[in-house]
A and B are shown apart, each in its own frame.
Chain A
């Protein structure tokens, strides 16, 4: 209900056309916006009464990163942002939503995305002396799981 209204308000505030929003299951509205419009979009969402940020999903789609900001108020609203792989930088929304700090720190250490203005950019889950690069990236698989991950792959296919 009100996430639909917010989605429409968002579209006309950011002057996006109809094609950018898409309906995904468990009644979520997904709107694709650009990197620069993030802070403005989050401000309008907060103003319209949606304050709960469920998660920030980060994933790698054919060599550029896609960030998903999942808001929720009885139904979902997701912002999708595409970052190119060479310079994965985006400004952090911690000043607006302090609760996003852990999600951003995790995305930073798992995918290597720079969040400008992150309060304390310290590793959240990985050990301090971690040299295994960014573990969640597709191509750059850590040597540790290259050996065992692949045979799981074969076993998965063969069984």
Chain B
């Protein structure tokens, strides 16, 4: 019975299948919202699924001279790391075995795809891929740091690095969204930088470096890359919700689950709105914005929490 229970939990409900459906749903919501902001109708509900199935059925070419084995490995590693990250997150219903420091493990697993993205740029040796890879590395060092620092505000406030402890302290006090609203906004900016979404999507800027490091990928590998990015959005957003809003609902209740989904949809709307409003920033403006404004603000905010 326990084995079946574990199988059910890993593959069906809060595991692989559920995350995949959630990722496709959020990706469709994102494209539909941006289209609606721009006055367009936007794609039908099954569009992300159709894109993935078509990409899986396409021929898989790589430029001659690239290390086929390594190029195939990169999307797999990044996809696997994001999936294992999703198992650590207590998605409203099930409570995972939480240990001291799984906050850091989750943070590391979430940042793996950005590293793989950079390596993908170097493996395929295309001019656009190398430039896309370099830019994603620059962005990796600035916005992962911001995301870590801003999120660790909640860990400092709850005094422990375990996710469940963060949740328990929030239930006693108030959800961290109210006292740490600045921390929340900064970690949202860090998440946008990590996911390379619109205002900070210079590494895969369509108009300069075609598709950044993914220019040479096609077929199954490209499908895996797109799936990774969509999954990363879901896991990143639910990580954000867990750390800042988890006091709002009780675990293992149906109503808690729907509140969690509602928050996920709201945050996705915020992300889509931001990406529809702002133009793409240059790489030096990006780094300047991060190190001159966001990081000092986060440090001040964390010190303020420590002293309180």
A–B touch (CB < 8 A): the answer is no
Residue ranges of B at the interface with A (Cβ–Cβ < 8 Å):
none
